[in-house]
Amino acid sequence: MERIAIGADHAGYWLKEEIIRFLQASGYPVEDMGTSGEESVDYPDYAARVARAVTAGQADLGILICGTGIGMSIAANKVPGIRAAVATDSYMARMAREHNDANILCLGGRVLGGGSALEIVQAFLQSGFAGGRHARRVGKIQALEHAGTKDPSSP
């Protein structure tokens, strides 16, 4: 089973705790990278921890939760090798894995209920990258990352 690194800020803390219970009950190895309460913290700090755990190979996949999932995804996507996707339903979560080879799922603790969040997590974990034409496109994303401000499609 995939090893999961999970992190949240204060707005996502409650949902992180629910997801950890669900993952542990389902048999997934989970590494909780904080935060550990509802005191206000800065979401990029937790995005960085989880993203680095994934790129270092310490975890196979990551889950990040803030108020909307947006701040976490913006921050995590700054780490080379990370493809972090916000999902608000199971279809988005499945497509994020199948088409985008996302390695981090971002959720919003202020926009999702616990039940739908767990369905989204399940859809993400039960899907896999489809490859084929999607591999070419993900390759182009990686080329953008390596090109910096240069246009990777021009010589």
Which residues would be at the binding site for ligand RB5 (CB under 6 A)?
A: 9, 11, 43, 66-68, 70-71
Closer to ligand RB5 by CB, 7 or 71: give it. Answer: 71
Best CA proximity match to 100, nearest among 150, 46, 55, 136 = 136
CB of 127 to ligand RB5, least distance (A): 25
Rounded distance, CA 145 to CA 104, Å?
17
- Strand residues in 29-111 grouped as ranges (E): 30-32, 61-66, 84-86, 104-108
CB of 136 to ligand RB5, least distance (A): 31
Q: Do the beta carbons of residue 110 and residue 8 sit within 8 Å?
A: no
Closer to ligand RB5 by CB, 101 or 108: give it. Answer: 108
CB of 75 to ligand RB5, least distance (A): 9
Is 99 an annotated catalytic residue? yes
Closer to ligand RB5 by CB, 94 or 96: give it. Answer: 96
Q: What six digits make up the tokens of 24? A: 């542990």
Is 106 an annotated catalytic residue? no
Q: What six digits make up the tokens of 28? A: 């997934």
